[in-house]
Amino acid sequence: MFRTILLFLLLTTIFSGAFSQVPHGKWRDHFSFNEGKYVTTGDNKVFCATQTGIIIYNNGEIDKITKVNGLTDVGITAIAFGGVNNILAVGYENGNIDLVYTDRVVNIPDIKEKSLSASKVINHFLFYQDKIYTSTDFGIVVIDPEKKEVKDTYFLGEGGQNLKVNCLATYNNYFWAATVNGVLTALSTDPLLVSFDRWTKQSFFANPDAECVSLSASTEAIFAVEDQGLSTDIVWRNNGAGWFEVERPFTGVKHVALGFGKAVVTSNSGVATYSINGTFGPKITNYSFPWAFKPNRAMPISVDDLAIADGDAGLVIGTTSSQNSYKPKGPDSNKAFAIGVSSERVVVAAGGYDATFSNQWSVFKIHRFRNEQWSDYTDWDRVDASVVEFDPRNPSSYFVGSWGHGVFQFNGDDKAGHFTPDNSSLQTTIPGPYCRISGLAFDSNGNLWVSNVQVGNPISVRKADGSWVSFPYSSVINSDKIAALKSSPFGELWLVMPRGGGLFVLNPGSNIDSKDDDKYSKFNPYDKDGNAFNVELNTLAFDRDGYLWLGTNQGLLLSYNSEKVFDGGTYFQKIKIPDVVPGLAVYLLETESVTTITVDGGNRKWFGTSKSGAFLFNADGTKQLQHFTVENSPLPTNSIVDIKVHPTTGEVFFATDKGMVAYRGDASEPSKGFGKVYSYPNPVPPGYSGKITIVGLVENTIVKITDINGNLIYETMSEGGMAMWDGKSLKGNRVATGVYLVFCADKTGKQSTVTKILFIK
């Protein structure tokens, strides 16, 4: 027993740092929580919704809930807290609804799945008696939270047509509905509320048909906001003696909320406060911190304090004179167009271009992830970071291309250079922000190649000595549209030109400065019989065997002989999936538009698609290992923009147009030799059911696990530099408490090492 405890303490000391890593097969979000949109309170907490999750504030402590830990969707448009069971209701733009309890999340997809021609956006929840009254873009839906089902639907438009309802309140035994066509009321006890003619139009607005943006009620009064278009909106009040105009505080008022004897009115211009009898209180037109002010919703949470969902500062809490921002750590925004990875950090380009190769006109911004922390770099005078490439010789050095302002160089967190037509061979289409970069790639000699779109010399190279050279092949290349650029293992530069542009390949010869020894070819991919494939190209990648994979609008094409491109010997083929339908050929992802390809450390292929999420296939593409979608994973959308695998941890980063998430994969880049080989978690704690990860391995490491007496317990082969053990013997039984030896050897048997795992059952 003493010996076991001693080993436990020793191994805990050695491996405690490794256990902090994300377990294999687990997800985590990398969402931004800056853009606060909606706010509610309950159970002594404040909840602030962003598009992709909810900030939870509890007496100064911050937590979050997203698709990773409970929510079923993204695109939040409403939240409210209430009911006898302390339910947080969450509504989405597609009509989906989550009911978040303290111990579970119940999804109610009825509206989302209902066939409707109208928008299904959820705008507001009202907890009343034992029901949840849900305001939507087509009417009011009554939900029974006990039965987890829709009870009724009220279509309030004339003749029972759809009518957008912004929110609902109760006052003096009546329902008050804020609609796009004014205010409607109905007796709350009326059993026939499903009939539109039981709802009465109110005419107190200056324009009775104006939109009622928001209304809110307490036992003392009800407040409503009349939309006045470009003019200042009108705040109305009724305390039972009729409606009276309170003030016209702002244009673009979004919300009114009552509580603690006051009313709070919110617009992007400011937050106005009033006593419940309508007298003016202080206004907030800027925060006590200077870097943000974009209030979207505000509500009183105590006699003195307000909670504000702010579009730049997340959740803001404080008085009318002093406030603080609260938000979980994450990138500055959910914009993610391209990812770069090294052993030290992850860098995300938060700009890019659209399907027509036009600017997004986003401020130049990159998100950087290092040591489990996010930081950002912003250049307010430039736009659209579009591509990231790390220097393979230095994991802290990277280059970022922009869609307008050339190439930026970074060392760590610091900008080290900026290359434009003024100080390089890069060109611009016309004067101004039009030096557009679509691709960056290092070759084996340390030269950085750049695809420069829509110019006369569409290929440039920054040589290892820092000098620049360009190549005048615009007459051959369709330089208006270059989607991807890669340097091959054989020394050629490959460019993808979408929309029928085909492939362009350049061999710059032994002297980059001279064009005399250049070889180049432009062609559309063809099969071994010379027949061209009728596909549009999106992307390309070389795998660890040097094979070339093309992502197209009809799946994948593969060439085993790309090095013969100038001999006319490079042909492509589709990858046939065996035994799917007997007698019928089925080809790899042939119905999908493949947007990105990434090869992991085990030579397996990650494919991102435009509409069906992300796939992981084995090395030759014949066996599907994973398929992640919005339905079975925390992916915020099925439209995948980029995928990259962290070379050391094996974590797979997915960039989408709605933010970024990551999945802990089971393959990392192999080491050149056995160095620091270790496993985690180690010790394996009681009750642990996940995979035990062994890292620091060489490619195709043979791993054998034995007990302390040398009996073989388990064996496997590494995926790149990583191997997994499920804690079971070859017979499938959970192993007993004890120390286990991990013997590792390369496939030749010339290199080997041993490590230990303490397993506590």
pLDDT at 15: 37
Give CA–CA dist 264/283, Å, rounded: 9
Residue 695 within any structural domain of the chain: yes
pLDDT at 689: 87
Residue 148 within any structural domain of the chain: no
Q: Do 721 and 653 belong to one domain?
A: no
pLDDT at 580: 66
Q: Give the angle subtended at the CA of 569 by the CAs of 564 and 574, to the nearest 5°.
A: 105
Q: Do 650 and 696 belong to one domain?
A: no
Q: Do 699 and 658 belong to one domain?
A: no
Long-range contacts of 629-636 (CB under 8 A, 24+ apart): 630/73, 633/27, 633/661, 633/663, 634/27, 634/29, 634/66, 634/67, 634/68, 634/661, 635/67, 635/661, 636/31, 636/52, 636/67, 636/74, 636/661
Here the CATH number for the domain that contains residue 721 is: 2.60.40.4070
- Which of 665, 696, 721 is where one domain is finished? 665
Q: Do 741 and 688 belong to one domain?
A: yes
Token output for 125: 């929840």
pLDDT at 55: 98
Give CA–CA dist 326/313, Å, rounded: 7
- Confirm if 574 and 525 have CB atoms less than 8 A apart: no
pLDDT at 187: 98
Q: Do 397 and 336 belong to one domain?
A: yes
Show Cβ contacts of residue 486 under 8 Å, excluding neighbours closer than 6 positions. Answer: 439, 441, 493, 494, 540, 541, 542
Q: Do 726 and 655 belong to one domain?
A: no
Residue 41 within any structural domain of the chain: no
pLDDT at 21: 63
- Which of 605, 632, 665 is where one domain is finished? 665
pLDDT tens-digit readout, 186-201: 999 999 999 999 999 9
Show Cβ contacts of residue 163 under 8 Å, excluding neighbours closer than 6 positions. Answer: 138, 139, 155, 156, 157, 179, 180, 181
Give CA–CA dist 183/204, Å, rounded: 9
Tell me the residue range of the domain where 410 lies: 331-419+642-665
Q: Cα–chain-centroid distance for residue 331? A: 10
Q: Do 713 and 655 belong to one domain?
A: no
Domain count along the chain: 2
* Of 109, 180, 193, 182, nearest in space to 154 by CA: 193
Taking the model in full, what pTM does it have? 0.92
Residue 181 within any structural domain of the chain: no
In a 3-state reduction of DSSP, which class is residue 363? strand
Q: What letter represents residue 639's amino acid?
A: S
Residue 413 within any structural domain of the chain: yes
Backbone angles phi, psi at 116, to 5 degrees: -135, 140
In a 3-state reduction of DSSP, which class is residue 163? coil
Residue 255 within any structural domain of the chain: no
Q: Do 732 and 658 belong to one domain?
A: no
Give CA–CA dist 218/456, Å, rounded: 68
If residue 2 lies in a helix (H) or strand (E), which one and from where to where?
A: helix 2-15
Q: Give the angle subtended at the CA of 339 by the CAs of 623 and 677, to the nearest 5°.
A: 65
What's the order of all strands across the beta sheet hosting 149-154? 122-128, 131-136, 140-144, 149-154
Q: Do 654 and 731 belong to one domain?
A: no
Residues of the chain with pLDDT under 70: 1-21, 579-581
Q: Cα–chain-centroid distance for residue 605? A: 20
Q: If you write DSSP's letter for every residue of 8-43 in order, what string do you get?
A: HHHHHHHHTTGGGSPPTT-EEE--------EEEEET
Residue 338 within any structural domain of the chain: yes
pLDDT at 9: 36
pLDDT at 108: 97
Q: Count the Cβ atoms, other than its own, within 10 Å of residue 526.
A: 14
Q: Do 651 and 685 belong to one domain?
A: no
Residue 579 within any structural domain of the chain: no
pLDDT tens-digit readout, 225-253: 999 999 999 999 999 999 999 999 999 99
